[in-house]
Structure formats: C-alpha cells, structure tokens
Amino acid sequence: MASNLTRREFLKDLGLLGAGITLAPAAVSGANIFDWDTEKTPVLNRPSWVNTSNVPTMEIDWDKMERWREWRTTRGSFAEYVGKERDERLTKLQTENLDRWVKQNKPGYTLKDRALSAACGQGSGAQSFLPPKDATTPGQLGVAPWTGSPEDAAVMVTAALRHLGAGTVGFVELDPRTTEKLVYAEDPDKKVISFEDVAQPSEDDKKRVIPKKARWVIVYTVPMSQETMKAAPTVLCQLTTQLTYTLNRSIQLRLQYFLAGIGYLGLGEASTNALGISPAFGTMAGLGEMSRLNRLITPEWGPITRVFKMITDLPLAPTKPINAGIMQFCKVCKKCAEFCPSKALSFDTEPTWQPRGPWNNAGHKAFYEDSTKCRAYWRQVGTNCGLCFTACPFGTKNQAFFHAFRNALVSATPVFDSALRAVDDWINPGPANPELGDPFKDPEKWWKMTNLPIYGINTSTGLSEI
Amino acid sequence: MWWLILGIAIGVIGWWLVAWTRAKKIAVKWYEWLLAVIAVGFALLALQNYYAFLREMEPHAANVMLTLLGVPALVFAAIAIGLAWWQNNKAAKKPAKS
C-alpha cells in the first residue's frame, strides 16, 4: 500500500509514528497532564495547580480574634439561641419524622440505613486529650528520644499518619499573637484549655493544661466517601461522617502512641470537635481554603473530608497556606447556598467581617452562616444533612479529565468561574423539587454498589505518580 | 494499559492514513490534517471523560460530557474529510492542461 513512498518519506513517517505512539497515551490520559508538584510542598505532594502562599485566602484580623469557646457554637448552645420551646418542638419533630420514614421505608431512612449508621459509630479507640500511659517510651528501650530536623520530623509524621489512615497532613507552629488563638479557650465540655509553664500535660474536672513547650499542631484530613455523601441529607449520608469520626478516634490514639514511642507528647481532641478550630487550622496548615460553607474546601476531596489536629512538642516544619482559587470561585458559584434547604448559607458576593450571630467567632473575613437555621434542619431530618457538601462542584472523585481542567482553570483565573459553575449544573444537577429529607442521589442505588472502594474512599488521591 | 493500546492504535492508524493518501495520490492540505488531529483530540477527551464519569458512578455527567466533547469531534472530523473530498473532487474535474 505504501510502496510508492521514498525512503526519506518512509523514515519521516516512521518518526511521526514513534512520536504518535509516545504522545498519544499521554494525551488520552488527561489527568496526568496536570502532574504533581514535589517542590512547593516537600511534606506531601499536592497537585501543581495548588499554589502556596504566606497568607491564607481568607483575611484574618489577629488583633480582633480571641480564643473561642467551642460550646458557644450551635452544637452546645442551640437551645439558648432558638429558645427552649422551639428546641423541644424540633426534638419532637425529629423523632416523629425518623419514626415515620423508617416505617414508610423512605429511601435513605430505612431499617438497613439506620442499622449501618449505628454500626459505623462502633469499634473506635478511646479518645483522650492526654497521651496513653502504657506506651513503650524510648527510655524503656534504653535509647534517647528521636532527634532530627523539623523537616525530617514533618516527613516522618506525614508518612506515619498516611499509614494510619490520614489523607493530607500539614503543620502549624503556635504563636500566642496569632495561631495559638485557634486553640479553644474552652472545650465542648466547657473545660478550660490552658497553656502553662509545666513539663507535663494534665487534666482535671475543670481544666486541660498544655505545656508551653508543645508549640506545634499536626493537622490532618480523614476523607469521607463522596458517593455516600451524595445520599444527603439522609441517614445513609450521615454514616460516612460517623465512620470518619470513628476512624479518627483510632488514628488519634495510634498517633499518640507513635509520638510517645519516639519520646514526644501527643495531645489529642478529648471529644469530637475539641481542642481547636479545625477549618482554621486546616487553612493555616494549607490543607485547603475557607469557603462559602464557612468550612474548609480541600483540593483533593473538596469539602468531603474531616479535619483533625493534635498538639505536640516534637518540632515540626510548618506548612504554608494555599491558594488554589477556591475561595475566589466560591464568590461566584453560590451553589451550596442555593441547595441549602434552610437557606443558612450566605448569598453575599464578598465575605464580611461581621458574624451572623453569637455562634460565629469574629476576627476573620468569612461567609458567616446562620447556624441556627442549619441546625434546625438537621433536627427536622434527624441527620447532619450534608447537602451543601454534596452540591459543591469540588466534591468530586477527580477521575475525569474535566475535574483537572476545571481545577487548573479555577487556580489560574477567575474569568471562567461562572462558566464552570454552569457546566457543573449540567453534570451535577441534583433533584429538581425535593421534599423534606429527599436525597440528592437515590440511596437504594448505593445499596447495589458492591464495588465502592474500601470505606468508600479513593485512598490513592493525594499520591504522586510513581 | 487500555490507553497505551489506544495510543498505539491511533499511531498505527495515523501512519496508515498518511501512507494511504499518498498511495492513492489524495492531496490533503496541512490544515485538513490539523482539523483531523483536533477531531481526534476531542474524541479522546470525550472517551476519557465518558468512562471516567462512569467510574465515578455519574452516568448523567458521563452522557453530558460525551455530548459536549463528542459533537465537536464529529464536526471537526466531518469538516476535515469533507474539505479533503471536495478539493480532490474539484481537482479531478478540472481539465488537464495541454
């Protein structure tokens, strides 16, 4: 067929064929075009479109910020904010709705959903502020505590945490004028958290004491299942949150054992959401950016992840905040606010310094939410909702090339943010006219997915290509 | 692995196409090759996004992306083939100079 080709033409075509064979796989495997950057973040490789910065994309006025009392959120003070009568009415409504829906076999609220949700809360390790007393210390082995540079320590802790089940890991150094203000003044159980000039941490009925030598915070994410989250706001959706908290109790305990084993303190969260403000620490550690959700959105899993922290006296090289264009995109997108059934999220185009209520802590320029509306909806459906997380365009599984293209574009320029939001509406439209408690995606289809990854999480996310 | 096989297949088909047009003395302009390459690019993007969204368990998104990227692929391919056919047809009808 090609017998009339000259030798020169043949060799030229052979070269073209070689180039084609070499380049075509790279071209079709589009996700690899935006490869991982190993230089900007030595601890954990992040996508190349994630830029590090000396300041976060959310403005902070450290002078106005004060250490927060966790129990002032609606988790601890809902009844005070809405009144006892309304609180009791919502409790009654929650019981009635959950009871009716389980009997009606409403998708996402059925017996099997309830059973699996309850199961996900079981089997966790003990959760404690203080390190375990029975850990084998270096002294017991007749050796000195581990020593190394803060950079080496950061790499070591990251490797250990990845193996224990964490997604991404970052580090914050505590400074009394700034980042120390992100540690709670009072924990959810109203115990005071105090920094004192002592050698060892302690805890009694009223106080948890952090030695001043413990200056570093290990901040890490534990991803949730995006597919399970898509069943929001049902009981089925809630179980991925529940499972992540359960998993973290084991991760925290094991991290405390590891730190004790190398001769250092690991001061954990005494209970769920204790010790410090997770989204704030996540922002300062560069695990993600603050968003319209007034929560963290990560480059790897969007908002569909939980953030945890541990204070230690092991010197660790801090990681920088990031700018991946996420906060800027949130200004235009507003999809979470539109999908929020209680209209608790801000529709403002710009963040503000003014909190929406006493449940917000001041001192940062944010899209403050009306937590009482949010929490009231939780009570109506009997779950922790999650529709805003589900609607977020960044809460995707990131296998399709489109996600890499969108993320790179969002990071590079805000010009296409509106168009990208429009495309997201086409590919992730959600239910048209949902009634109270109706899911974003059909939970009954979830129960037929026998090939979801373990824990519903793609654990290879965040890894560099080998 | 599938992408490697697809890449090799595209390379072989591309080489064969070049050789075939030359053997048949079909004149193909540079911009017609460019249009064909763009069509192949869109087709590959359509395929990658379609199957990846199916793996993400998002069949609706898969169909949307197949349409959004597949239609341009077909349009570019049709223009490239149509242009080449039209020009060669025109050349064939032109009376040879004496």
Report DSSP letters for A310-358, one per residue.
EEESS--PPPPPEESSHHHHHHHH-HHHHH-TT--S---SS-BSS-SST
Instruction: Map residue A296 onto helix, strand or coil.
Output: strand
pLDDT at A289: 97
Residue A305 to residue A245: CA distance in whole angstroms = 10
Size of interface A-B (CB pairs under 8 A): 98
- B13: chain A residues, CB-CB within 8 Å: none
Instruction: Say yes or no for a CB contact (<8 Å) between A20 and B49.
Output: no
Note the pLDDT tens digit of each residue in B2-49: 889 999 999 999 999 999 999 998 999 999 999 999 999 999 999 999
**Closest residue to A1, CB basis, from B7, B19, B60:** B19
> Are the beta carbons of A70 and A187 closer than 8 angstroms?
yes
Mean pLDDT, chain B, whole residue set: 92
Residue A255 to residue A259: CA distance in whole angstroms = 6
Instruction: Say yes or no for a CB contact (<8 Å) between A401 and B45.
Output: yes
Instruction: Say yes or no for a CB contact (<8 Å) between A13 and B15.
Output: yes
> Are the beta carbons of A49 and A407 closer than 8 angstroms?
yes
Closest by Cα among A381, A82, A99, A413 to A234: A381
Residue A53 to residue B73: CA distance in whole angstroms = 40
pLDDT at A47: 83
Instruction: Say yes or no for a CB contact (<8 Å) between B14 and A17.
Output: yes
Residue type at A213? K
- B57: chain A residues, CB-CB within 8 Å: 227, 449
Residue A376, classified by CB atoms within 10 Å of its CB into exposed (0-12), middle (13-18) or buried (19+), is buried
Mutate which of A397, A399, A425 to disrupt the B interface (most B C-beta within 10 Å)? A399
Residue A239 to residue A215: CA distance in whole angstroms = 34
Instruction: Say yes or no for a CB contact (<8 Å) between B55 and A399.
Output: yes
Mean pLDDT, chain A, whole residue set: 91
> Are the beta carbons of A391 and A291 closer than 8 angstroms?
no
Instruction: Say yes or no for a CB contact (<8 Å) between A402 and B18.
Output: no
Instruction: Say yes or no for a CB contact (<8 Å) between A24 and B11.
Output: yes
**Closest residue to B7, CB basis, from A25, A399, A400:** A25
> Are the beta carbons of A286 and A154 closer than 8 angstroms?
no
**Closest residue to A25, CB basis, from B4, B12, B20:** B4
Q: Which strand (E) or helix (H) includes residue A375?
A: helix A371-381
Q: In what order do the strands lie in the sheet with A266-267?
A: A169-173, A216-223, A305-312, A266-267
Cα A136 off chain centre by: 32
Could you give the C-alpha distances from A195 to A83, A203, A210, A311, A403, in angstroms and in order?
Answer: 35, 12, 5, 11, 44
Average pLDDT of span B74-78: 97
Give every residue of chain A whose pLDDT is below 70, as ranges: 1-44, 462-466
Residue B79 to residue B69: CA distance in whole angstroms = 16
Could you give the C-alpha distances from B7 to A24, A27, A129, A300, A327, in angstroms and in order?
Answer: 5, 9, 55, 28, 38
Handedness of CA A264, A267, A268, A271 (dihedral sign): positive
Instruction: Say yes or no for a CB contact (<8 Å) between B19 and A5.
Output: yes
**What would the two tokens of residue A306 be?**
């939980």
pLDDT at A466: 38
Instruction: Say yes or no for a CB contact (<8 Å) between A427 and B3.
Output: no
Mutate which of A28, A394, A440 to disrupt the B interface (most B C-beta within 10 Å)? A28
Note the pLDDT tens digit of each residue in A123-173: 887 899 999 999 999 999 999 999 999 999 999 999 999 999 999 999 999
Instruction: Say yes or no for a CB contact (<8 Å) between B3 and A400.
Output: no
Residue type at A251? I
Closest by Cα among A417, A382, A406 to A292: A417
pLDDT at A39: 44
> Are the beta carbons of B76 and B46 closer than 8 angstroms?
no
Instruction: Say yes or no for a CB contact (<8 Å) between A427 and B56.
Output: no
Q: Which residue in chain A has the smallest CA separation from B17?
A: A2
- A432: chain B residues, CB-CB within 8 Å: none
- A304: chain B residues, CB-CB within 8 Å: none
> Are the beta carbons of A271 and A189 closer than 8 angstroms?
yes
> What is the ipTM score, two decimals?
0.88
- B45: chain A residues, CB-CB within 8 Å: 30, 401
pLDDT exceeds cutoff 90 at B1: no
Q: Which residues of B touch A (CB under 8 A)?
A: 3-4, 6-8, 10-12, 14-16, 18-20, 22-23, 41, 44-45, 47-49, 52-53, 55-58, 60-61, 64-65, 68
Helix pair A401-412, A326-333: axis angle to 10 deg: 100
Instruction: Say yes or no for a CB contact (<8 Å) between A13 and B19.
Output: yes
Note the pLDDT tens digit of each residue in A63-87: 999 999 999 999 999 999 999 999 9
Instruction: Say yes or no for a CB contact (<8 Å) between B23 and A4.
Output: yes
Residue type at B25? K
β-pairing, A207-211 vs A192-196, is: parallel
